[in-house]
Amino acid sequence: MIYLDHSATTPVDERVVEAMAPFWTTLYGNPSSIYGLGRRAAAALEDARRRIAHLLNCQPAEVIFTSCGTESDNLALRGVMLAAASRGKRHIVTTPIEHHAVLHTVTDLVEHFDCEVTLVPVDRAGLVEPAAVAAAIRPDTALVSVMLANNEVGTIQPIAEIAALTRARGVLLHTDAVQAGGYLPLDVEALGVDLLALSAHKFYGPKGVGLLYVRRGVRLLPVQTGGGQERGRRSGTENVPYIVGMARALELAQAEREAETQRLAGLRQRLIAGLTGRIPGITLTGHPTQRLPGHVSLLVAGVEAEALLIALDLAGIAASSGSACATGAPTPSHVLTAMGYQPQEAMGALRLTLGRANTEADVDFVVARLAEIVARLRGQA
Ligand SMILES: *Cc1c(COP(=O)(O)O)cnc(C)c1O
- Cα 195 to its chain centre, rounded Å, is 14
The answer to whether the CB of 176 is under 6 A from ligand 1 is yes
pLDDT of residue 381: 59
pLDDT of residue 325: 47
pLDDT of residue 257: 97
**The length of the chain, given as a count of residues:** 381
Q: Which atom of ligand 1 is nearest to the CA of 147?
A: 13
pLDDT of residue 328: 57
Which amino acid residue places its CA nearest to atom 14 of ligand 1? 178
The answer to whether the CB of 151 is under 6 A from ligand 1 is yes
DSSP designation for 105:
H
pLDDT of residue 380: 72
Q: Which residues are catalytic?
A: 325
Distance CA 145, CA 75 (A): 12
Residue from 271, 252, 278 nearest 351 by CA = 271
Residue from 82, 90, 108 nearest 220 by CA = 82
pLDDT of residue 322: 75
Cα angle value 366/370/376 (rounded, 5°): 155
Distance CA 311, CA 305 (A): 10
Sites in the chain below the pLDDT cut of 50: 325
The answer to whether the CB of 367 is under 6 A from ligand 1 is no
- Kindly give, in sequence order, each residue whose CB lies less than 8 Å from that of residue 310, ignoring residues fewer than 6 positions away: none
